[in-house]
Amino acid sequence: MSGGVDSAAAAVLLAREGCEVEGATLLLTGDGSAASDAAAAAAVLGIPHRSVDLRETFRREVMDVFAAEYRAGRTPNPCVLCNRAVKFGAMLRYALENGFDGVATGHYAILRREGNRVCLYASPSRKDQSYMLYSLSQEQLSHAVFPLGALEKDEVRAIAREAGLPVAAKPDSQDICFVPDGDYAAFLARYAGEEFLPGDFVDAQGNVLGRHSGLARYTVGQRKGLGSFGRPMYVTALDPAHNRVVLGEEGSQYRADLTAEDVNWIPFDAPPAPLRCRAKIRYHAAPASCTVTPLPGGRAAVVFDEPQRSVTPGQSAVFYDGDRVLGGGIIEGFV
């Protein structure tokens, strides 16, 4: 139980089904407010509650990786890391070691057992979070429970209100949990001692266009905060080796291919031949038709039918067949 309405409503639904439910709040950072809200919700529901200290795991598996990715000029998605290494990694191990059957969360996604595999499906809800869950292993999925499934957010809030939960009207969090103000550069300076120095804006040919205020303040596709160049300009690449931000006009934003690393497949092992499917390159992106070719070393090459805007190294490319999640990986570069 994270202290929000989704996980609290998930507990309500499980209790209604007659499951033996215990609330658990993961202590990930120094702020204990989530545990307080979750404990209050558990008290209303009449279920036990405990806090599980996973701060060291979260620091090592999420925050350290987040800092390293920015240092390498990539834009990471820490929620993907957290789901695999923390919520369904360290927390699942803790749950199984303490006699529980699995871990239920407030994610909006659907699980179905198909033969000897557990398959992940996108939720028809506007809050679908299957993109964030593609990296879970079969072992993790077999012990995962997503009670919210296909529900919409207003339905979830109604469930919480009916149960008398104090978090029923609590706003959704909008930023990364350990960077609540959204200032990644300031966080990296505090956390990792990273000093992102000013450097040059350059075009694709290396011509200097102006000065930037530190690499961590930019991501591929960004337009705002670049300054005035007499025409709209966008970030097309980050060059940490030379502390440069590469800019281009609108047309330079589009790529028809990418390569991905750390690829995880869900309904099957890596396919033996190129696979037709659709891929999402950001959480809120629309899936786009493509061909995925497995490569050695847990990698894959993706070629889109139509060029995609702002393909961003460090983000995830997630593969779908309809609403069925086939798998995905971390965007590392281009074919």
CA atoms in the 13 A half-sphere facing the CB of 236: 19
- For residue 9, what are its two tokens? 């409503």
| 200 and 238 Cβ atoms separated by less than 8 Å | no
Q: Give pLDDT, residue 32.
A: 67
Catalytic residue among 19, 79, 119, 177, which?
177
Specify the CATH number for 196-248; select among 2.30.30.280, 1.10.3720.10, 3.40.640.10, 3.20.20.70.
2.30.30.280
Beta strand residue intervals within 91-194, DSSP E: 103-104, 109-114, 117-122, 144-145
H or E segment to which residue 308 belongs: strand 299-309
Arithmetic mean of pLDDT over the chain: 95
Q: Which residues fall within 8 angstroms of residue 282, CB to CB, at 6 or more apart? A: 310, 312, 315
Q: What is the pLDDT of residues 35-61, one digit of tens each?
A: 888 999 999 999 999 999 999 999 999
Q: Is 19 a catalytic residue?
A: no
Is it the case that residue 292 has pLDDT exceeding 70?
yes
Give the helix, strand, coil percentages of the chain, each rounded to 5. Answer: 30, 30, 40
Arithmetic mean of pLDDT, 8-32: 92
CATH topology of domain 254-333: Elongation Factor Tu (Ef-tu); domain 3 (2.40.30)
Q: CA 103 to CA 125: how far, in whole Å? A: 21
CB 309 within 8 A of CB 221: yes
Q: Is the separation of the CB atoms in 236 and 220 below 8 Å?
A: yes
Which pLDDT belongs to residue 191? 87
Is 119 an active-site residue? no
* pLDDT of 174 strictly over 80: no
Encode pLDDT of 222-240 as tens digits. 999 999 998 999 999 999 9
- Distances, alpha carbon 305 to alpha carbons 85, 244, 277, in Å: 33, 31, 11
Is 196-248's fold the same as 254-333's? no
* 150-154, 196-200, 261-265: segment of lowest average pLDDT: 196-200
pLDDT at 92: 98
Whether the pTM exceeds 0.85: the reply is: yes
Neighbours of 117 (CB within 10 A): 16
Set 79, 82, 119, 277: catalytic member: 82
Closest residue by Cα to residue 318 from 181, 167, 135? 135
Return the pLDDT at 131.
98
Residue boundaries of the structural domains of the chain: 5-162, 196-248, 254-333
Q: Left, alpha or beta for 243 (phi > 0: left; psi -120 to 50: alpha)?
A: left
How big is the chain, counted in residues? Answer: 335
> Given a cut of 70, is residue 274 above it in pLDDT?
yes
pLDDT above 90 for 186: no
Residue range 5-162 forms a domain whose CATH class is alpha beta
pLDDT band for position 84 (50/70/90)? very high
Q: What percent of the chain has pLDDT over 70?
A: 99
